[in-house]
Amino acid sequence: MEISPCMTSSPLFRDIAPADLASLLDCLDARERAYEKGAWLLRRGEWTDRLGLVLSGTVHILREDFWGSRSIVGLAGPGEIFAESYALAGEPLEVSVLAASDARVLFLRVETALTGCGQLTRNLTALLAEKNLTLTRKMRHMARRTTREKLLSYLSAQALRSGGPEFDIPMDRQQLADYLAVDRSAMSAALGKLRDEGVLEFRKNHFRLLEPGEQDL
Amino acid sequence: MEISPCMTSSPLFRDIAPADLASLLDCLDARERAYEKGAWLLRRGEWTDRLGLVLSGTVHILREDFWGSRSIVGLAGPGEIFAESYALAGEPLEVSVLAASDARVLFLRVETALTGCGQLTRNLTALLAEKNLTLTRKMRHMARRTTREKLLSYLSAQALRSGGPEFDIPMDRQQLADYLAVDRSAMSAALGKLRDEGVLEFRKNHFRLLEPGEQDL
DNA sequence: CTCCGTTCGTTGGAAAAACAACAGACTTTT
DNA sequence: AAAAGTCTGTTGTTTTTCCAACGAACGGAG
């Protein structure tokens, strides 16, 4: 395994002597992989126990909603890491990672990074990673401009999580409105409009999103 | 140091044998403290190298803005932790912690929690903690309902960070609008209105917030 | 069964934000 | 110095949200 300059300058390896890097990478079960532009590094729904460290090129972190539309939610260049929260929290990926250019990436096993650390450190990093995911999820929905878009973002995420178009949500209307930082009655109206337009169906806390083909039956 | 049930049930100590807890707490330089209802545990602006673990009672995490108004942004009950991101990221507290009832709290040194872990683990937890703070900050502003409130929340935070009413912001108008998830022109209008009302002054990226006494001169 | 409390959808008016377009100030380039 | 481009504030119009209030549906409790 070669030690490239972007490793030593990476925040992940800050204050680690270059001489120690080789053995450290060995400990981390480091695997270097190269991707051509347009190739998938990780796909939504997969599980990973490794974080990614970009060696060269750029990767895009993207999110795909229930209806298939994509948006870039982050970039990572040389020295930057990705997927660390999912790996540490032990949760399936909610984003996909795409090579925006030809890229080389190092995948490092997080579990072995914590060996010799004791259970406490594992718990602490897991807590941080989970909080991270919780915040990211909420942010994703709240960043949308309109109540309608916030709703669709949230409901789409629930559908993806459940693995199908039908699911129950764990909040009542007021709680959901607070979570999305919108007005309850306006949200209720937006929900009604979406139902009328054939985008979704719902009864109480049970929702069903409709594929374009199913709509307007 | 007594081992109470809320310790063994805390997510922080998950999968740690109660028998090992005593020596672990010793390693962490654990300090137990008791507070009466209404007492401050930590104040905004302070630095802490310890995270807090609530043993009994409830603490409120609260935020005070530039003009002194307070709002509760979180609670922690028995077994739950607080201030961990600030301690791990090595940044000053942006919130204050208040005893909502009589409470006992354990303060654990995070640095020693990571001894024997190697620099990599330190870097990783620091990265997670910083990302956490970044997300929390952004969320804090975005959760406000109106463009005006988002602006005030952001500018107030900048003022507190700078330690005074004058500061420069590191973004142009469009970037700030994107960051707060609002319309640029609407934000510009809101800024102008705030200036007219004597709440603040600005020129380009330099801002000055006015105390109530300074306003309307 | 009736009463009561809660949740939810709906409505109407007031307020705010989004959107599009434009003009002036300032920068950088030529 | 002139030109091109960018950033910012302003305006007017349309759309959306907010807010307060109300009535229907639902689910206990007496």
Alpha carbon A56 to chain centroid distance? 22
DSSP H/E element including B185 = helix B184-196
Residue B217 lies in a domain: no
Do both B54 and B118 map to the same domain? yes
Give how many domains chain B has, as a whole number. Answer: 2
Residue A164's pLDDT is what?
92
CATH number at residue B196: 1.10.10.10
- For chain B residues 136-155, those near strand C by a CB cutoff of 7 A are 146-149
Q: A90 near A110, Cβ under 8 Å?
A: no
> How far does the CA of B204 sit from the C1' of C27, in Å?
14
Do both A60 and A122 map to the same domain? yes
% of chain B at pLDDT higher than 90: 80
Give how far Cα B44 sits from Cα of A165, A197, B69, B93, Å.
Answer: 45, 49, 13, 5
Residue B91 lies in a domain: yes
> How far does the CA of B176 sit from the C1' of D3, in Å?
30
Do both B84 and B99 map to the same domain? yes
SS3 state at B40: strand
- Of the residues A137, A164, A180, which one is the last residue of a structural domain? A137
Residue B215's pLDDT is what?
59
pTM: 0.91
Give how far Cα B123 sits from Cα of A11, A64, A105, B49, Å.
Answer: 7, 30, 19, 15
- Any idea which residue has 């109470």 for tokens? B4
CATH number at residue A70: 2.60.120.10
Query: What CA–CA distance (Å, rounded) separates B119 from A17?
Result: 10
Residue B129's pLDDT is what?
97
Query: What CA–CA distance (Å, rounded) separates A180 from A188?
Result: 13
- Of the residues B79, B107, B137, which one is the last residue of a structural domain? B137
Per-residue pLDDT at B69 exceeds 60: yes
Q: Which residues of A touch B139 (CB under 8 A)?
A: 135, 138-139, 142
Query: What CA–CA distance (Å, rounded) separates B47 from A95?
Result: 35
Residue A215 lies in a domain: no
Do both A88 and A44 map to the same domain? yes
- Of the residues A137, A170, A199, which one is the last residue of a structural domain? A137
Do both A119 and A204 map to the same domain? no
Do both B132 and B35 map to the same domain? yes
Range of the domain at A72: 5-137
Q: In tens digits, what is the pLDDT along chain A, a chain of 217 residues?
A: 778 888 999 999 999 999 889 889 998 999 999 999 999 999 999 999 999 999 999 999 999 999 888 888 899 999 999 999 999 999 999 999 999 999 999 999 998 888 777 889 999 999 999 999 999 999 999 999 899 999 999 999 999 999 999 999 999 999 999 999 999 999 999 999 999 888 999 988 999 999 876 655 4
- CB nearest to B138's CB, from A24, A139, A144: A139
Q: Which residues of B touch A140 (CB under 8 A)?
A: none
- CB nearest to A114's CB, from B121, B138, B144: B121
Query: What CA–CA distance (Å, rounded) separates A83 from A44?
Result: 11
Do both A192 and A131 map to the same domain? no
